[in-house]
Structure 1
């Protein structure tokens, strides 16, 4: 447990630093999936490690040890974690869980708002055109989702660029990109170190939609023009927090569209998968060590009780005969 409990924390930091820089140069669809998986696995490892570290301090409270029937002295003897580290871990764990609750409520409200807006938008088709001169275009997730475009935005684009814009928004709905956003927002709320993953993930979603739009219209240049013109037209417009062709780092997206399609190299993702596997295995090993630590403390308490009363505690949970019970017959259990 001395080393393995800290491995998920280290993996989280490494991925938070390296992953955003690496995936920006890769195919956006697998990049988005990798970032989502990395966020989920690392946040579970983060919370698990904090919980194990906090437990070592919590378990040494005399009232808790008495309720659990284990020896505080044995825990302090065999436990390699400082109480100060356990206390900080407990505070970080509580703060992360509280932040997760707040973020979950906000996300639910956002999805409810999106579904309500889908019902308010006139018409019952996928595409809704607003009679508004303000240039705007975005996708509203729902069942089904809606694509909302204003007449002001349509007037800013040519026919091919309109097709590219709509293809971009359809890609957001078809790929259920709002679910990816939900994952990144919740995990970043638990652990602020994961915010770079969320930012890189948002860029990957826009690039994913750009690439699908380019395949749809058959021209990367047309999509690049559509993205650039739409962004310029709506630059002064306050946009809702929804998926839109004007989102993300537009200059970088345009540059990527004017370049050849990104390479589909698997080596960075394989390396990341190995790190995530290491995170899971280390957390499992730390949990096993923590369980063995509690078993040792329980046996120590059983031995103490036997010496004081001459009879081992009847509820002593042992997987093998304990020293305190060796001098008693099998009938004592």
Structure 2
């Protein structure tokens, strides 16, 4: 096993440095695709690299090498990988598998529960109005999904802002934003170094929905005012309980039931408002090209490492 097997690990350590520039300088839809692809591809590449390193160490142990009819002595001579590195890779791989499995199980449960809840909600044109003074609005994925708005939120906004709110929430459903979030979080579960990328996706999907509302109304300033008013109203009053991990709201993703989202009181909402008050962002070809180069390098390095491992197995095979 040579240097190629370590390149995905190095790129995963460097990738978070590009999360904020992509989220802030690139058109939100493209940024969401790039960040999600980066998290998923780098997460898969590092998992493969750890697996190759772990197995390369196992065949250096005579008792295990005998099971595959390999020569442990030849493996120790031809493979420069240290046994300690292989053992560490095996431990990290086991942890990644556990974390990814837990994430998939929790996400599947939350989405199934959300789909069931959505199917049971009485609705007109996919809109559910809940009698509750707590101002809130969110998209509930399902077949079909639902947009849930509380009466408190409707009272906090004027009539002209209701359409903006609904357009924002419906954008989450029509663009399947919950899938982008799930895939980005899967990559981050496999490799915790990629968590900044998954966090950036939760921001860019909100920016994506904001831009949909701005394009629909043709008034970016009014959309910015609506986002600010909704966030301010929710900041002053506890919001509704939601299904953790399944809903997407105008304030962002809730991580706990009854927990007030950080986006309502910290940086992302002011950043969204500032972005709406500025001209629309472009595709930023330099950032897009740099991301493509990183992903291509990780993919090619993983393929090269797998090829090296195949050659190693052929070399240590006992004829």
TM-score, normalised to structure 1's length? 0.87
Per the alignment, residue 15 of structure 1 pairs with 15
Query: Gapped runs of 5+ residues in structure 2?
Result: 253-262
Counterparts in 2 of 1:238 and 1:157: CA distance versus 1, 3 Å: closer
Per the alignment, residue 237 of structure 1 pairs with 238
Per the alignment, residue 254 of structure 1 pairs with 273
Q: Quick check: 1:265 aligned with 2:284?
A: yes
C-alpha contact 1:168 1:245 (8 A) present in aligned 2: yes
Which digits, 9 at most, give the CA deviation of each residue in 1:113-159, with x for residues without a partner? 21122133223531111122221110001111110111111111112
C-alpha contact 1:24 1:200 (8 A) present in aligned 2: no
Which digits, 9 at most, give the CA deviation of each residue in 1:17-46, with x for residues without a partner? 223333322100000001111111101110
Structure-to-structure mapping, 1:79-118, within 5 angstroms = 79-118=79-118
**Cα distance in 2 between the residues matched to 1:106 and 1:224:** 34
Per the alignment, residue 175 of structure 2 pairs with 175
Per the alignment, residue 325 of structure 1 pairs with none
**Cα distance in 2 between the residues matched to 1:109 and 1:69:** 43
Between Structure 1 and Structure 2, how many residues are aligned? 300
**Cα distance in 1 between the residues matched to 2:238 and 2:185:** 24
Which digits, 9 at most, give the CA deviation of each residue in 1:303-325, with x for residues without a partner? xxxxxxxxxxxxx3xxxxxxxxx
C-alpha contact 2:26 2:283 (8 A) present in aligned 1: yes
Three-state SS of the structure 2 residue aligned to 1:149 is strand
Q: Quick check: 1:42 aligned with 2:45?
A: no
**Cα distance in 2 between the residues matched to 1:70 and 1:120:** 58
**Cα distance in 2 between the residues matched to 1:154 and 1:290:** 60
**Cα distance in 2 between the residues matched to 1:160 and 1:123:** 22
Residue 309 of structure 2: which of 286, 290, 298 is its match? 290
C-alpha contact 1:137 1:150 (8 A) present in aligned 2: yes
Once superposed, what is the RMSD of the aligned Cα atoms? 1.3
**Cα distance in 2 between the residues matched to 1:206 and 1:43:** 23
Deviant stretches of 4+, over 6 Å: none
Per the alignment, residue 69 of structure 1 pairs with 69
Three-state SS of the structure 1 residue aligned to 2:106 is helix
Per the alignment, residue 2 of structure 1 pairs with 2
Structure-to-structure mapping, 1:134-283, within 5 angstroms = 134-235=134-235, 236-239=237-240, 240=242, 241=244, 242-247=247-252, 248=263, 249-283=268-302
CA shift, 1:60, in A, is 1.5
**Cα distance in 2 between the residues matched to 1:32 and 1:22:** 9
**Cα distance in 2 between the residues matched to 1:64 and 1:92:** 20
C-alpha contact 2:184 2:201 (8 A) present in aligned 1: yes
**Cα distance in 2 between the residues matched to 1:109 and 1:200:** 24
**Cα distance in 2 between the residues matched to 1:208 and 1:72:** 54
Which digits, 9 at most, give the CA deviation of each residue in 1:75-103, with x for residues without a partner? 10111111111000000000100111111
TM-score, normalised to structure 2's length? 0.91
Which digits, 9 at most, give the CA deviation of each residue in 1:209-238, with x for residues without a partner? 000000111111111111111111112324
**Cα distance in 2 between the residues matched to 1:142 and 1:106:** 16
**Cα distance in 2 between the residues matched to 1:34 and 1:153:** 33
CA shift, 1:15, in A, is 1.2
**Cα distance in 2 between the residues matched to 1:121 and 1:202:** 26
**Cα distance in 2 between the residues matched to 1:189 and 1:84:** 24
Query: Gapped runs of 5+ residues in structure 1?
Result: 302-315, 317-333
